[in-house]
Structure 1
Amino acid sequence: MTFAVTVGGRSVECAGDQALLDACLRAGVWMPNSCNQGTCGTCKLHVVSGEVDHGDSPEETLTADERAAGMTLACQARPRGDVELRPQGSAAAKAVNPLRDLTATVLEVSDIARDTRRIVLGLDEPLAFDAGQYVELTVPGSGVRRQYSLANTADEDKALELHVKLVPGGAATEGWLFSGLAAGEAVEVSGPLGDFRLPDEADDVGAPMVLIGGGTGLAPLIGIARTALRRHPDRDVVLYHGVRGESELYDLARLSDLERDYANFRFVPVLSHEPADGYREGFPTDAFVEDIPSARGWSGWLCGPPAMVEAGVKAFKRRRMAPRNIHREKFTPADA
C-alpha cells in the first residue's frame, strides 16, 4: 500500500514500510538530510496533517515533547496514511539529484595511509550528485548499510572514489572492505545523500573558503575544494587536514598539484599526537585560529569526528564567520 506524502506543495508516493525521506529523495524532492541514521536530527520536520510511525527514532534525537508537538525524523518515520510535511525554518522543497540504487564494479582497492584505503567503484551509467555528498554501500549477505563520502567532483560521475578508515570490529570495514574486497567484485550502492555541498553555481559568488577535515573527513573536502576553484580560480581557499601522525596523511601529491595550479589555494596538514619535521603540530581548528585573523565574509566547511566539528564551529565563530556560512558533516560511528 502506498500513501501520498506532500512537501512544499509537491506530492510523492511513499510505501507504508518506506521512510519519508527515502521516498522524497527518490522522487527528486529535496528534504534536509545528513546522517540518515536518526542521530543528527537534520531531517527533523513538522507533520502538518496525517500520522506517522516514528520507527526507530532515538529519544535523544526526537524527544517525547517534540513528538507530541508534531515533529518527526523523516529518515526514520513511515506514513500511516496520507501525510503533509513542512521542513523546519524557511526551507522549502526543491529539485535535487534523485536517490538511486545501482550496482557498481570495484575498480581499485589501495592502501593510501595507515589503516586507510582508497576504493574506486565503476558505474555503467552516471550517478548525478554534488561534490561533498555521500553514498551508502550494502555489506553483502547482511543487509548492513554504511555511508562513505565521495571525493569526486560532479563531472566524475562514473568512477566513485571513497576514502575508508578501518574500524576494529566494523561490519563493513574489518569484515569486508579490509578483508578481501578486490577489483572486479560487484557492490550495491545507493546515493546521492547528504546536504554537505556547495551552493548552486549561480549562487556561488566566489567568496573565500576554509575547509577543515579530520582523518577521512578529507574526502568530501577534496571534491568541494576542486569544484570551488574551478568555478572561481582566483578565490582564496585554505584546506586543513588533521590526523594523529604523518603515516595517516594521504593525497599529498594531489593537494600539492592544486597548490601549483591555483595560486590562492593553500593546504595545511596538522599532526595532533605524533610530531614530525616539516608539519604543524596540534589541532587543525587551532591552526586556523592562528592563521586567519578574520573570517568575516568567508564560508567554512567541517568534516570529521564530532568533537573536531564542534571545535571548528567555535573557531569559525571566534573569527567572525556568519553562522549561516558554516557547513558541517559529522562522521558518527554506526553504533552511536
Structure 2
Amino acid sequence: MAFKISLNDGERSALASADQSLLDAFLREGIWLPHNCTQGTCGSCKCRVDAGSFDHGGSPFETLTQEERDAGIVLACQAHAQSDMLIEPLAEIDDSVTHHPMRDVSGRIAVLEDIARDTRRLVIELDAEMPFLAGQYAELNVPGTDVWRQYSMANAPSETRGLEFHIKRTPGGLATDGWLFKSASVGDQVNMKGPLGNFGLFEAQDDPAILIAGGTGLAPMKSIVLHALAHDLIPEIFLYHGGRGQADLYDVEFFRALDAEHPRFHYRPCLSEEAWQERSGMVTDCVLEDFSSCKGMSAYLCGPPAMVDAAGKALKRRRLPPRRTFKEEFTEAAKIAAE
C-alpha cells in the first residue's frame, strides 16, 4: 500500500510505500529535501509532521531526541509513512538549484587499482546515465548482502556513465576488507543508487574558494575542481590535500598538471607526519600560514570529522563566515565496519 506524502507548500507530493523512507520517496519523485548522510546520524533531513501517522524506523536518539519526537519531528531518511502525511522540512530548500532525481542503476567494474596506502580507485561503467552535481555521492550495494555504503563521485558531472570513487580500507569493513580489497574484480557487476547529498558546487560563485581534503575526502573535491575549471564557476581555487605521509597522497601529478595549466588553480599537498620537499604540518596549519584573512572567500571541507572541525575553526579565525563554509564529514568507519 502506498501513502501520499506532501510538503506543506501544497504543491509537491510523492507516493511512499510502508517500507520506504520519506526521503527516498521524495528523491525518487524528483522532489529535493535537504540531507547529508541518509543514515540517521547527521539530522540534516529533519522534518515536522503537520498531519498523518508514521513510524520513526531506525532513528537514533542521539540524533532525534525524545523531546523532538514528542514535538512531531522526524528524520526523513529513517521515518516511514503509516498514512497520508503532510510535512515541513526544518532546513530551507533552495529551489534555485536543479537537483537530479535519485535512481537505481547498475554497471560493471572497469578500473580497480591501488592509488595510495590502503586506498583504491574504483571506476564503474554504468548501463544507464546517472546525472549528479559536483560533490554528491552514491550508495553502492555490497554484492551478496543488503548492505549499502556511501562514496563520493570523483569524476566531473559531465561523465554520467563512468563513475570514479576513491575508497579507503576499513579494517574489518564488510565493504572494503570483505569485498573491494578482497574479492572484487574488473568486470564484476555493481548495483547502486544516487545521486545523494547536500555537499558540493551547485552554482557559479563570485568569491575564491579554499578546498580542504583529508585522505579520500579528495574525491568530491576532484569533481568540484574539474567542474569549476571546465565551466569557469570559481574565480580562483586553492586545493589543500592532507595526509600523514607521501604514501597517503594520490593523483599528485594529475593536480600538479592542472596547476600548471590553469593559473587560477593552486594545488597544495601537506604531510602531517613526514618531512618532504613541499609542505609539512597539519593541513589546517598550512592554510593558516598561507592566509592572513579569508574574508570574501568560501570553503569546502571534506574528510574525517576531526579534520573538518579543525578546518572550520581555523577558517573562522581567518574571518571566513560559517555560512560560506560547506562541510562533508565521513561517516565514522568504526561504527559501520562490522555491519
Aligning the two structures, in what range does the TM-score lie when normalised by the shorter sequence? over 0.9
User: In the comparison of the two structures, how many residue pairs are matched?
Assistant: 332
Q: Measure how far apart 1:77 and its partner are.
A: 0.5
Q: Which residue of 2 aligns with 1:258?
A: 258
Alignment of 1:88-127 (within 5 A): 88-91=90-93, 96-127=99-130
Partner of 1:181: 184
Secondary structure in structure 2 of the residue aligned to 1:286: helix
How much has 1:265 moved relative to structure 2?
Answer: 1.1
Which residue is 1:38 aligned to? 40
Encode CA deviations 1:251-292: one digit per residue, 9 max, x unaligned: 01110121012112111111112x132132221112111111
Does the Cα contact within 8 Å between 1:12 and 1:24 map onto a contact in 2?
A: yes
Superposition deviation, residue 91 in structure 1: 2.6
Contact conserved, 2:205 with 2:233, CA < 8 A, in 1? no
Could you tell me which residue of structure 1 aligns to residue 302 of structure 2? 303
Aligned-partner Cα distance in 2 for 1:61–1:51: 20
Runs of 4+ in 1 over 4 A off after TM superposition: 92-95
- CA positional deviation for 1:318: 1.3
The amino acid of 1:263's aligned partner reads P
Shifted more, 1-10 versus 170-179: the winner is: 1-10
2:270 corresponding residue in structure 1: 270
Q: CA deviation at 1:188?
A: 0.6
Q: Is the 8 A contact 1:206 1:228 kept in 2?
A: no
Amino acid at match of 1:56: G
CA contact (8 A) 1:45 1:71 kept: yes
Aligned-partner residue type, residue 31 of structure 2:
V
**Partner letter of residue 38 of structure 2?**
N
Conservation of the 8 A alpha-carbon contact between 2:293 and 2:319: yes
Q: Show the 5 A alignment for 1:33-182.
A: 33-91=35-93, 96-182=99-185
RMSD: 1.5
Structure 1: which 5+ residue stretches go unaligned?
A: none
Paired with 1:88 and 1:290, the residues of 2 have a C-alpha distance of 38
Q: Contact 1:206 / 1:231 at 8 angstroms: preserved in 2?
A: no
**Per-residue Cα deviation, 1:105-139 (whole angstroms, up to 9, x for no partner):** 10010000111000000012211100100111111
Q: Counterpart of 2:206?
A: 206
Partner of 1:222: 222
2 CA distance for matches of 1:95 and 1:222? 21
Greater mean alpha carbon deviation, residues 52-61 or residues 95-104: 95-104
What SS does the corresponding residue of 1:260 show, helix, strand or coil?
helix
Instruction: Give the structure 1 partner of residue 242 of structure 2.
Output: 242
Give the TM-score normalised by structure 1. Answer: 0.95
Give the drift of 1:92.
5.8
Contact 2:209 2:234 in 1 (8 A): no
In 2, Cα distance between equivalents of 1:92 and 1:208: 22
Give the Å deviation of 1:58.
0.7
The residue type equivalent to 2:16 in the other structure is C
Q: CA deviation at 1:89?
A: 4.3
Q: Which amino acid aligns with 1:122?
A: E
Please, which runs of 5 or more residues in structure 2 have no aligned partner? none
Any conservation in 2 of the 1:229–1:235 contact (CA below 8 Å)? no
Q: Taking structure 1 as reference, are residues 131 and 92 closer, same or farther at Cα in structure 2, changes over 3 Å only?
A: closer
